[in-house]
Structure 1
Amino acid sequence: MRRLLLIAFGAVTFYHLIALAWGWPNPFWLMPLNTLLQWGFALAHALPTLGRHRALLLLGLTFGISLTLEAVGVATGWIYGPYAYTERLGPRLLSVPVLIPLAWFMMAYPAFLLACIALDEPPASPRGWGVAVLAAMWMTGWDLAMDPAMARRGFWVWQEAGPYFGVPVRNFIGWMVTMLLIYGLYLGISRRWPSPASVPAPMGEAVVAYAIAGAAFVFYPLLNPRADPLMQALGIVAFFTMGPPVWIAFLRLRALRAGRRVLGA
């Protein structure tokens, strides 16, 4: 089921990308479906990798904290800057579309796993706080491409134009603070728990999921050379913010596999 979700996520992402670039039919439900597929994969991967209790803890912290801070942000303009969601993202909870806290988790989990791979930390119980900082940076790296693109497509409106493609700089500070709070609480609560008895899912799958999310931005201007200049710029941004985590994790996993082969010989 986990791999089917990952394959489906990749297929829907690719079709959505083609539809946007080449004018193919692009039903409104494609984006919510894509979010649910990636969220489902992240949870299915987290359950055996972190253990059920840790996976549900990270899910609960991500959902609860992101929803709360988003609700405060929408109501007051604090944290991320003044913005408002449009009707395009569906049902809301506390004035925040339900898809939003799901989207936070669908990327917070692979960003966390990539940081663990890069720093050679066990995902279920990282020993250092460097994982939280690096994962928060790599999560915010996704938002550097995602936020201006989603605003341009009309999913939310910034009521105060900022210097970064119309996005206020404090939005990204807010993202870092949000993720440091989530990861910090997760590490603080879970580090005393016993290690899970389950067999972790292959780490490469989480790397692929993060890579697919970044590739959607990178390949769009390649498929449509006449694309909006903003989208072309965001493709470059995604390449240099989301590409390095994927490459670092790939090289690290390859080195680990090579080491195991040597020991096996």
Structure 2
Amino acid sequence: MRKHPFWALLAALILTQICYPLAGGGTRAALTVSTVLIGYVFSVTHAAATRGPRAALALVGTATLGGFAVEAIGVATGFPFGTYDYSGELGPKLLDVPLIIPLAWTWMAWPAWLAAIRLARSAPMRVAIAAFGLATWDVFLDPQMVAEGYWRWQDPTPALPGVDGVPLGNYLGWLGFALLLMSSLSAVGGRHIKTPGHADAPIIALWFWTYASSVLAHAVFLSLPASAVWGAVLMGIVVLPLAVQQVKRR
């Protein structure tokens, strides 16, 4: 697969996300699902095309299957994210988990990993940076989805100041699972996923777009100013150094 289909997938994803704050109700839920589906295809096909089948299978095994497993455990037991449940707006469920949810883990795990391998040389640092990047993306994701009523916690306290509805323990659960996910991906993905590639630009652009668009959407369009600030600061810890690095290289 050549590079240009990835730019087309990125354009489709961006267009879908731009439409999100302009829509409402069932249309907004459909756009949410569409965004995740596009993002999933984007990340998995990019992994396969640039790193080979082993990398794609490693991504699916760790993020898709692993993501489903941890969500099923979480819904059933309250560990590691707290006691929560999903509404029926995000499509069909298995074990009370919407099937779209593990696809979202996969969609963002790949750009988080590719960003990390540009920022660190040692395997432990790569895993830590990738896990932190993925977990801090959730500082945008969960407040937005809770505000839409797609899922809810039974006891959402204590929470980040100004970000009601999402307990602090959820973010710790995200970080813990993200560390496990990235450690597994690093271990089984092969040597090719540990080296930056020339065809990674669309995925790195996705990483920057996700950060910038999330800050803008929360601050301006979704009336979630506190999560805009928290997300800008926390996810910015891993996004902004990469942006500086890319500017210097140019």
Q: Give the TM bin, normalised by the shorter chain.
A: 0.7 to 0.9
CA distance in 2, matches of 1:88, 1:51: 35
| 8 A Cα contact 1:140 1:175, kept in partner | yes
Relative to 1, partners in 2 of residues 1:151 and 1:28: Cα closer, same or farther, differing over 3 Å? closer
| 8 A Cα contact 2:129 2:238, kept in partner | no
Relative to 1, partners in 2 of residues 1:221 and 1:134: Cα closer, same or farther, differing over 3 Å? closer
CA distance in 2, matches of 1:250, 1:6: 18
Q: Counterpart of 1:180?
A: 179
CA distance in 1, matches of 2:10, 2:141: 20
| 8 A Cα contact 1:81 1:170, kept in partner | yes
Gapped regions of structure 2 (runs ≥ 5) = none
- Is 1:6 paired with 2:20? no
| 8 A Cα contact 1:133 1:180, kept in partner | yes
- The structural deviation recorded for 1:61 is 1.3
- Is 1:202 paired with 2:203? no
| 8 A Cα contact 2:211 2:239, kept in partner | no
- Is 1:246 paired with 2:247? no
- Return 157-166 or 241-250, whichever deviates more: 241-250
- Is 1:60 paired with 2:61? yes
Relative to 1, partners in 2 of residues 1:254 and 1:29: Cα closer, same or farther, differing over 3 Å? same
Q: Counterpart of 1:169?
A: 168
- The structural deviation recorded for 1:25 is 9.8
Identity of aligned residues (%): 29
- Quick check: which has more Rg, 1 or 2? 1
- The structural deviation recorded for 1:250 is 2.5
- The structural deviation recorded for 1:88 is 0.8
Q: Following superposition of structure 1 onto structure 2, how do residues 32-71 of structure 1 map, counting pairs within 5 Å?
A: 32-71=33-72
Q: Following superposition of structure 1 onto structure 2, how do residues 250-265 of structure 1 map, counting pairs within 5 Å?
A: 250-257=243-250
Please list the CA deviations of residues 174-204 of structure 1 after superposition, one character each: whole Å capped at 9, or x if unmatched: 111111111112222344x6x48xx945333
State the AA in 2 paired with 1:206.
I
State the AA in 2 paired with 1:252.
Q
Please list the CA deviations of residues 89-125 of structure 1 after superposition, one character each: whole Å capped at 9, or x if unmatched: 1111221101100000111111111111112x4xxxx
Relative to 1, partners in 2 of residues 1:150 and 1:25: Cα closer, same or farther, differing over 3 Å? closer
Two-structure CA RMSD over aligned residues (Å)? 2.4
SS of alignment partner, residue 228 of structure 2? helix
CA distance in 2, matches of 1:52, 1:106: 17
- TM-score, with structure 1 as normaliser: 0.82
- The structural deviation recorded for 1:222 is 5.2
State the AA in 2 paired with 1:33.
S
* Higher RCO (CA < 8 A, seq sep 6+): 1
SS of alignment partner, residue 157 of structure 1? strand
Give the one of 94, 115, 128 matched to 2:123.
128
Give the one of 213, 224, 235 matched to 2:210.
213
- The structural deviation recorded for 1:27 is 4.7
| 8 A Cα contact 2:44 2:59, kept in partner | no
| 8 A Cα contact 2:36 2:104, kept in partner | yes
Relative to 1, partners in 2 of residues 1:167 and 1:28: Cα closer, same or farther, differing over 3 Å? closer
CA distance in 2, matches of 1:206, 1:240: 21
- Return 209-218 or 103-112, whichever deviates more: 209-218
State the AA in 1 paired with 2:9.
L
| 8 A Cα contact 2:215 2:228, kept in partner | yes
- TM-score, with structure 2 as normaliser: 0.86
| 8 A Cα contact 1:48 1:201, kept in partner | no
